[in-house]
């Protein structure tokens, strides 16, 4: 893969830039609004926000076709939104309501929306990598030029499933882009303490596939690199490994609140990252970076971007209100969507 033209030299389409901006502010406000309801106690459960990682969600996915697929992680609200998932059914699913896209049974970490090609998130470390590789194999056997974008975190690269799926995809030249969101920490463990390589994309060498590490806070750079990887996959040239260096502003999940201000190697029970580190990454906020480019290239004014943001805030609030107003699933629905044949009526009573 040549990446012969720099993303800086490229003439960016106005509509593409504005769509990326719209999606990124949609993700930011959707997750912020959801956390308000969660912390108020309106719903419960794990809630892994991708705030700070919006460029890594939108950059690779904004130009995918409806027939392309994406798989996600435990932190996949942003992936779903970037692939086009409706906000109302996503919010209702996270809340556990019957109007959710999975009828409230998937929740935050196992949400899937087949209508937009989102094959599912997984709470298991690397749990969706096999799904993505299998979907890419199906695309190849069907003779389509569809592709799959497979998201995973830096904590997965030392798991067996990472190596197994990359090897299989490389051997069969499957149309899958392995997208590592390196947000620096696997819960509280800095990635540099668990691997001997300085950049994780070097792992691609072992499977003779292209690997690239890019600024995951820059949506344009990431989109540019992923676009070429996608074109390569569509042409039948096989998979690529792309590492997006990004950062989550929030804790691993809302259930985990760790103090800051203590050096990472002094023990995770006392904190694992310094306040200055968080602030340094926030200075490179992906939404601000993209907005500066849009305004600087005179594609839109600051007031026009403010209008887009207000439109998205209204849509987000409407979505979460829809979730709040929706009904809970009936208890009897626990027996549906689980097995090909329903559990017999007499067994249901016994099991309850």
Q: What is the pLDDT along the chain (352 residues), one digit of tens a residue?
A: 444 457 776 788 999 999 999 999 999 999 999 999 988 888 888 888 898 999 999 999 998 999 999 999 988 899 999 999 999 999 999 999 999 999 999 988 899 999 999 999 988 888 899 999 999 999 999 999 999 999 999 888 898 999 999 999 999 999 999 999 998 887 767 766 778 888 889 999 999 999 999 999 999 999 999 999 999 999 999 999 999 999 888 776 676 555 555 444 444 444 677 888 888 899 999 999 999 999 999 999 999 999 999 999 999 999 999 999 999 999 888 888 876 665 555 555 555 5
Q: How high is the pLDDT of residue 271?
A: 62
Q: Residue 268: its pLDDT value, please?
A: 42
Residue 321 phi, psi dihedral angles, 5° rounding: -70, -35
Contact 66, 101 (CB under 8 A): no
Query: What pTM, to 2 d.p., does this model score?
Result: 0.88
Residues in a beta bridge with 263: none
Answer yes or no: is 19 within a domain: yes
What per-residue confidence (pLDDT) applies to 195? 81
Residue 62's nearest CA partner among 18, 97, 29 is: 18
Query: CATH number of the domain that 182 lies in?
Result: 3.40.50.970
Cα separations (Å) of 18 from 11, 23, 58, 196, 244?
Answer: 14, 9, 12, 39, 21
Residue 256 included in any domain: yes
| 9 belongs to a structural domain | no
* 7 falls within a domain: no
What does the block give as tokens for 343? 């559990």
For residues 148-168, b (16+ Cβ closer than 10 Å) or e, as one string? Answer: bbbbbbbbbbbbebbeebbeb
Q: Is residue 8 part of a domain?
A: no
Examine residue 6 and state whether it is found in any structural domain, yes or no. no
Look at the chain and report how many structural domains it folds into. 1
What residues make up the domain containing 247?
Answer: 14-351
The span from the CA of 125 to the CA of 189, in Å, is: 14
At 256 the pLDDT is 55
Query: Could you give phi then psi for residue 36, rounded to 5 degrees?
Result: -60, -50
Classify residue 138 as exposed, middle or buried by CB count within 10 Å of its CB (0-12, 13-18, 19+). Answer: middle
Tokens matching residue 212? 């690239």
Integer-rounded Cα Rg, in Å, for the chain is 20
Q: What pLDDT score does 266 carry?
A: 46
Query: How far is residue 104's CA from residue 90's CA, in Å, rounded to a whole number?
Result: 9
Q: Is residue 141 part of a domain?
A: yes
Residue 128 in any domain: the answer is: yes
């Amino acid at each position: 893969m040549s990446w012969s033209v720099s993303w800086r030299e490229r003439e960016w389409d106005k509509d593409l830039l504005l769509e990326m901006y719209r999606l990124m502010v949609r993700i930011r406000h959707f997750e912020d609004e959801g956390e308000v309801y969660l912390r108020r106690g309106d719903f419960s459960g794990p809630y892994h926000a991708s705030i700070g990682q919006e460029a890594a969600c939108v950059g690779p996915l904004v130009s995918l076709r409806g027939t392309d697929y994406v798989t996600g992680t435990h932190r996949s609200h942003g992936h779903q939104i970037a692939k086009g998932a409706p906000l109302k059914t996503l919010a209702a699913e996270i809340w556990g309501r019957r109007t959710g896209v999975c009828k409230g049974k998937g929740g935050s970490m196992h949400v899937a929306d087949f209508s937009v090609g989102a094959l599912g998130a997984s709470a298991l470390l690397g749990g969706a990598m096999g799904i993505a590789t299998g979907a890419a194999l199906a695309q190849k056997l069907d003779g389509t030029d569809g592709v799959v974008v497979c998201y995973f975190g830096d904590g997965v690269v030392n798991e067996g499933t990472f190596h197994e799926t990359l090897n299989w995809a490389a051997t069969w030249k499957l149309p899958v882009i392995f997208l590592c969101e390196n947000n620096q920490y696997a819960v509280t463990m800095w990635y540099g303490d668990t691997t001997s390589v300085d950049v994780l994309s070097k792992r691609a060498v072992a499977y003779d596939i292209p690997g690239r590490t890019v600024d995951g806070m820059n949506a344009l750079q990431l989109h540019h690199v992923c676009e070429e990887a996608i074109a390569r996959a569509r042409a039948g040239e096989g998979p690529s490994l792309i590492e997006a260096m990004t950062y989550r502003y929030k804790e691993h999940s809302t259930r985990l609140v760790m103090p800051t201000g203590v050096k990472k190697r002094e023990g995770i029970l006392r904190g694992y990252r310094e306040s200055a580190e968080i602030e340094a990454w926030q200075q490179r906020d992906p939404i601000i970076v993209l907005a500066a480019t849009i305004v600087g290239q005179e594609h839109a004014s600051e007031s026009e971007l403010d209008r887009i943001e207000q439109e998205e805030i209204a849509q987000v609030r409407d979505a979460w209100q829809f979730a709040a107003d929706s009904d809970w699933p009936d208890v009897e629905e626990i027996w549906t969507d689980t097995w090909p044949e329903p559990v017999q009526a007499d067994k249901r009573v016994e099991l309850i």
